[in-house]
Every structure is written in structure tokens, then in C-alpha cells.
Amino acid sequence: MIDIIPAIDVIEGKCVRLTQGEFSTKKTYSNDPLDMALRFEDAELKRLHLVDLDGARQGRVINYKVLEKISNRTKLKIDFGGGVRSDKDMQIAFECGAEQVNVGSIAVEQRELMLAWLSKHGAEKIILGADVRNEKVSVSGWTSDKEIFLIDYLHGYKEHGIKYVVCTDISKDGALQGPAHELYRKVLGEVEGIKLIASGGVTTLEDVEKLEEAGLHGVIIGKAIYEGTIELGKLKRFLC
């Protein structure tokens, strides 16, 4: 089985989607992200990937009230990311209802802080966000690419007990042209023992089937749901 994880990206409190992380491509799908979360819950989905895009751009958690509202009004298990760059941000995320926190930029730029969070909260609570372009890690809302190769990066954190990894191929994100199947197969082949979650480009149910067959732990689905290339009701067949 593969975890089906719908995505909600938030700008100024609204549910939006971008293409390849470009804010100029913003398209608003709902003025109230809770409405979308309730739709996901009605479709019997159990999880939610919630991203604070304002936070990612400004370097601090901003849309925590959206997290709190969805947490209070649904039973969805929420993994939250975007702008988590301090102990205070981490505390806000958990206090507002995050089941897990997705850490990206800080894991690259402040490794010791990431390891401290991993030690304090445990590997079940911290997700390593690995956003990549040409197999190199990107940070700060995908505005800065580092000379760090994905496989090396993942090995470095696996040694310290990381379990969950959300890997986004930026070139695929929001493009509705299929996910990075080859990249994910490479990661699973070279970094054993992690729970790899695919993100970016998922367009059809066939994409989900291929990811499941490849051994992915989960898949994040965003624009495909909003644009209707994947119907929520048809995702039930992947649910436990």
C-alpha cells in the first residue's frame, strides 16, 4: 500500500498552487483551505500535506492559524512545512496541531539544529524535506540551489536516524507531466531503509500505481486533484 497525501499550499490564508515554485504562477483554488481539507476527509483520506508558502518565502511560520483551524475541524493527520526555521516555529507547528513537521532549508543550512530537533521530537515527528533540481538540493522556497547531491544528503541524515523523506523534483512540480520515477527508483536503490514520499508532477492514477509498485511509502498529490486529472473518489482503492 502507498499513503495518499493530498496537498494544500497556502498564501495569504488561501489555498493555491504554483508551478515549479514560481509565485508568479499562483492560482487560487479556494479562499478557505478548510473547505478543501473537509473535501479530502469526506473522500476518506487520512493525511494532509500543508505548506505555508508565505512562511517559506519569509523564513518564519506565518499561516499557523490555517493549520490550527484544519487541525481543530478535521481528523486529518497533518504534516506541516514552510518557514520552520527556529525552535519557536517548531513549537508553533506542533501546538497548532501538526502531526509531523517537514524541515527543508534548515536541514541544509543548520544541520546541528536539525539534528537537535530530530533528537528532541523523534524520527516519527520530523520529516526531511529534500527539494531537488538536477539531483542537487534546493532551499529557501526553491530560490537557491546548493552543491549538495541528493543521495549524499540523504545518507548523511539516515546515519542519524531520519525515517521519513519527502522528495520533490522541482522541475516536475505543478507541471502535470508525471513524477520523477527514475529519481525515486535511484533513491530507493541507493538509500535503504527510508520511507520515501514522492512529491511533484503526479498527474494520473497510473502515476500513483507506478510509485506504489516501485516501493514508495507515500505520494503527495496537489494540482492533479484541483485540476481534476485525478478524481478524489478513485483514490479510495489505494486506502487501507
- Active-site residue numbers? 9, 131
Q: Determine phi and psi for 34, rounding to 5 degrees.
A: -60, -35
How are the residues of the chain apportioned to helix, strand and coil, as percentages rounded to the nearest 5? 40, 30, 30
Strands of the chain (E only): list them.
3-11, 14-19, 22-30, 47-52, 77-81, 100-103, 126-133, 136-139, 144-149, 164-169, 195-199, 218-221
CA-based R_g, the chain, Å: 16
Cβ 170 vs Cβ 145: under 8 Å: no
Q: Determine phi and psi for 88, rounding to 5 degrees.
A: -65, -45
Torsion sign (Cα): 87, 88, 89, 94: positive
Please work out, in degrees rounded to the nearest 5, the angle formed at the alpha carbon of residue 72 by the alpha carbons of 68 and 75.
Answer: 115
**How many residues in total does the chain contain?**
240
